[in-house]
Amino acid sequence: MRTRTLAIASIGLLSVSPGAAQDRPRSWTGAVTATACGQRALAAAAVAITPDGDGVADCAAIHVRLARPATVELVVAQRKPQPRMIHVQRVAAPRGVTTLVWTPTPRTAPRTYVTRVTVIGPHARATVAGPVIRIRGIAARFARESHAPRDIATLRVASPVASLVLQMVDAVSGRPVSRARRLSVASGAATVGVRIGRWAPGVYAAELRAPGVVSRAPLIVRAAVGARPRVAVVLPTSTWEAYNLTDGDGDGTGDTWYATRRRESARLGRPFMGDGMPPRFRRDDLPFLRWLRETGRRADFLTDEELERVPDAAALARRYDLLVFPGHHEYVTWHEYHLVRGFRDRGGNLAFLAADNFHWRVVRDGSRLRRKEQWRSIGWPESALVGVQYRANDHGSRGAYVVRTTRCASWLFRGTRLRPGSTFGWSGVEIDASTSASPRGLCVVAESPRLLGNGRTAQMTYYETSKGAKVFAAGAFTLPGRSRVMRTLLDNLWARVSRP
């Protein structure tokens, strides 16, 4: 194989194949090649492995060609959600080709990992970005976010395992709602139809099982047209896409702006990392869904994509009296923002149970979700709708709410024995506060003072409009809780806002 010397070889240490530089002109330096163990070495910018112990592609081999002896260091790392080194190896290498091998454990998370190779000589050193290593796992995603009972949903599956067990489960309880069936993925990918049963509206998941491995794909089931409850729970599916760090194109970086500042879009339709459920679903959405299930409340379930199909606010108001936003509803389109605003202006009730809602305008552009600008920067501050808007985030601090007044919302505290100055709950992480754009008559019922320092305080608020709309905002992550007081508050809130 002919080779040529790249910039790194100017110190006389390294010569490489020309193919790699041509494959990845922006990020590829051409310093090394990689193969799955046991395969023939070819110039490659990425390699896929399956470390399941079957003796086939269990490890990745990184090949470095040296013009003279040197020390070679290999670093394998992940970039997001927390950058960290996964593997470090250093060897004294002779002239010619040296191979360094990374053998992940079977428990290593399926995703892409980036590599870095450093060549250290007597008087100089040089570092280059190496190939991307993809650990293949079971991954699946439904073609559409939501379906109605009796629909047939299309599920796309990729798997290194040829035979899987597929079963639909309730994502809240984990209980099966369908029979298990065998799914063949002989070619590494499969598309299968899943019939939606007469299931109650809610969040479900396709559960895919193989020995020692379980992965899921979420599916929202909405109510049949003739059986819609007057309350709708709106799940933050655009925010789920934004926080989805899955690397679909295999360049080592997740396909979203949360993975790199070089992106202002997120690729739609990717499987979710980890167990296959949306990021932060368990923290932000699941507590309320459990409360809803345990208390027997009925509600329809909608997604951001589903709201895009509602023609106008009048149609939305004819269907529902209350929209509940239980999770982190940060990203909304122009249509969704003004649809919900118009719903409120017609007397529709709103309940925001987390923080940082309706913060950014996004555009759904085919297979892309594109982030544009903050709503407040274009004259539509979110506090004018929600009552409060995003103030700060420190990724972890939580504290108790302090009751400020019970006069404007005495119904909220009924049966709790709380009075001004009492503390309750345990919320935070991201916080919201009122602004000059907040509606007149806004009442701050409780605060979590100085939660993030420097006077930054989370505010729980409530207001009503002249058209009779009732709007509640928790102001922090998140309102549902296991304590008796928090459950009583949620009971009282539901009783107040679930009726016209």
Q: What is residue 167's predicted lDDT score, i.e. its pLDDT?
A: 98
pLDDT at 1: 29
Of 23-37, 81-95, 216-230, 380-394, least confident by mean pLDDT is 23-37
Query: CATH 3.40.50.880 in the chain, residues?
Result: 228-243+278-497
Instruction: Tell which CATH architecture fits domain 228-243+278-497.
Output: 3-Layer(aba) Sandwich (3.40)
Tens of pLDDT, residues 61-106: 998 888 889 999 999 999 998 899 999 999 999 988 899 999 999 8
Please provide the DSSP assignment of 399-426 as one string.
EEEEE--SSTTGGGGTTT---TT-EEEE
CATH level 3 topology of 137-222: Immunoglobulin-like (2.60.40)
Query: Strand 331-332 vs strand 360-365: parallel, antiparallel, or unpaired?
Result: parallel
Average pLDDT over residues 308-326: 97
Kindly report whether the peptide bond that precedes residue 81 is cis, defined as omega within 30 degrees of 0.
yes
pLDDT of residue 41: 53
Residue 28 confidence (pLDDT): 26
In this structure, the strands spanning 265-267 and 213-221 are unpaired
Q: Give 194-235 as a DSSP string.
A: EE--SPPSEEEEEEEEETTEEEEEEEEEPPPGGG--SEEEEE
User: Which fold would CATH assign to domain 7-134?
Assistant: S-adenosyl-L-methionine-dependent methyltransferases (2.20.130)
SS3 state of residue 314: helix
Bridge partners of residue 473, in order along the sequence: 352, 461
| Structure confidence at residue 6 (pLDDT) | 24
Q: How many helices (H) and strands (E) does the chain have?
A: 8, 31
C-alpha–C-alpha distance, residues 136 and 180, integer Å: 24
Helix H segments across 296-386?
Answer: 304-308, 313-319, 334-345, 383-386
The two tokens of residue 59 are 């490890």
pLDDT one-digit tens code per residue, 326-373: 999 999 999 999 999 999 999 999 999 999 999 999 999 999 999 999
Look up the pTM and report it.
Answer: 0.89
Cα separations in angstroms, 438 against 235, 340, 376, 435, 464: 24, 16, 12, 5, 12
- In the chain, where does the domain assigned CATH 2.20.130.20 lie? 7-134
pLDDT(8) > 80: no
The mean pLDDT value of the chain amounts to 89
Indicate if the pLDDT at residue 391 is higher than 80: yes
Domain with CATH 2.60.40.1930 in the chain: 137-222
Q: Can you give the pLDDT at residue 192?
A: 97
Instruction: Kindly indicate the confidence band of residue 11, based on its pLDDT and cuts at 50, 70 and 90.
Output: very low
Q: What is the pLDDT of residue 454?
A: 65
Pairing of strands 300-303, 231-235: parallel
Provide the pLDDT for residue 42: 52
In which element (H, E) is residue 34 found? strand 33-36
Residue 129: what pLDDT? 87
Confidence class for position 396, pLDDT limits 50, 70, 90: confident
Give tens-digit pLDDT for 367-387.
999 999 999 999 999 999 999
